[in-house]
Amino acid sequence: MRVSHLQLADFRSYPEADVELEPGVTTFVGRNGQGKTNLVEAIRYISVLDSHRVATDAPLIRFGAERAIIRAKIEKSGRSLGLEITLNAGRANQARLNRGAARPRDLVGILRTVLFAPEDLSLVKGDPSGRRAFLDELCVALQPVLAGDIADYERVLRQRTSMLKTSRNARGDLTMLDIWDEKLADLGGRIVAARLRAIAGLAPHVWAAYQDVAPDGGDCRIGYSSSWATELPEDAAALGMLLLERLREVRPKELERGVTLAGPHRDDLEIRLGDMPAKGYASHGESWSCALALRVGTYDLLTSETGPDSEEDGEPVLILDDVFAELDSGRRAALAQRLERASQVLITAAVAEDVPAALVGRVIPVAKGRVGDE
């Protein structure tokens, strides 16, 4: 799997851009603020419908424009696929697949990407929300249909929480709240079951990757931390029933506070170094090694998948956004050695010398919004 062509219109700093991409390593080189990260951000966005830099779509649309367009040509299992997403200011986004109209969520999972960026340090040091997002993104990569369950869960959660707030001082019929409980529990059970499967698959890859990037750093292990159950069954239906029971137990507190107190939206991905939690105990270097292990482990998991779709899906595209400047020489070399055989690697760097020799490939200069020889 690889991206062979990228076109942008009014995306970030680009009125327009047209870039041909090749297999192997491609490095976009340019000073800060020249637009190199915008290119890989666009590829990442059309893969997961989300940016690794901002929480909303508004900053992705060039100032003064009404919309931004990302088009990508994907080579996958001997076929060429055309993906297009239009980001509309103040309106719903639109999508096209092979020139035919599609829902934006239909694009999720067609292009698999794994991105490592300086922001990934927050996976270890930051709030649980970032780790939940990482975990859900992995779940969708493994099972694209789960994107619909996650979107539906967030919608039901908003509606249920709104009802809790409006019912806080009421003593009337709460039948509708019972209905929202059942919907939330059903979707929540499916999401937690997918998270548990993803962690089971990812854990050995994270452990192995950490041994490579920090050979003297001990063991890095991951697990699932639930805020609403001490023991979690693997079956989605059983998880849903357990969550429904918990929602009924905490309802008096929820009505008092006006918030939903149980569900996957309050859970966390646990990262441990030896017997201690990485957050709060890991040094800066150890935190970087944990973040590297999570991303490299994700890449290894998606590459080595043996499920029925593995032959079709193939190896993900690897994106390294300005990370080498953040790493010491040892971690640079370890990361490069692990990834030098990847089918397609897209790198951004301020100077070409930041990129290890093992990842030497095509270099495309980016300056003042111009890409290569544009």
Instruction: Name the class of domain 1-112+314-374.
Output: alpha beta
- 42, 8 in Cβ contact below 8 A? yes
Query: Angle 158-163-164 (CA atoms, 0-180°, nearest 5)?
Result: 100
Q: What is the spatial distance between Cα 287 and Cα 86, in angstroms, rounded to a whole number?
A: 37
367, β-bridge pairs:
370
**What pLDDT does 333 receive?**
85
pLDDT grade for 308, boundaries at 50, 70 and 90: very low
- 109, 141 in Cβ contact below 8 A? yes
- 189, 237 in Cβ contact below 8 A? yes
Please report, rounded to a whole number, the percentage of residues in the chain having pLDDT higher than 70.
96
Stretch 188-197: mean pLDDT: 98
pLDDT exceeds cutoff 60 at 13: yes
- 297, 141 in Cβ contact below 8 A? no
Q: Which two tokens stand for residue 268?
A: 């966390």
pLDDT exceeds cutoff 70 at 307: no
In order, the DSSP letters of 91-152 are S--EEEETTEEE-GGGGTTTS-EEEE-GGGGHHHHS-HHHHHHHHHHHHHHH-TTHHHHHHH
pLDDT digits (tens, 9 = 90+) for 144-154: 899 999 999 99
Alpha helices per DSSP H over the chain:
36-48, 122-125, 128-142, 146-166, 175-213, 236-257, 284-304, 310-313, 329-339
Higher pLDDT residue, 154 or 354?
Answer: 154
pLDDT digits (tens, 9 = 90+) for 151-184: 999 999 999 999 888 876 655 567 888 999 999 9
pLDDT grade for 309, boundaries at 50, 70 and 90: very low
Stretch 309-314: mean pLDDT: 50
List, in order, residues 6 or more apart from 281 with CB less than 8 Å away: 273
**Nearest CA among 60, 71, 138, 76 for reference residue 111:** 76
φ and ψ at residue 153, rounded to 5 degrees: -60, -45
φ and ψ at residue 294, rounded to 5 degrees: -65, -45
298, β-bridge pairs:
none
pLDDT grade for 201, boundaries at 50, 70 and 90: very high
**What pLDDT does 361 receive?**
87
pLDDT exceeds cutoff 90 at 248: yes
pLDDT exceeds cutoff 50 at 71: yes
- Tokens 């990508």 locate to 72
- Tokens 């967030």 locate to 154
**What pLDDT does 313 receive?**
56
Three-state secondary-structure class, residue 239: helix
Q: What is the spatial distance between Cα 212 and Cα 295, in angstroms, rounded to a whole number?
A: 13
Q: Which two tokens stand for residue 185?
A: 């529990």
- 245, 181 in Cβ contact below 8 A? no
74-83, 94-103, 303-312: lowest mean pLDDT where?
303-312
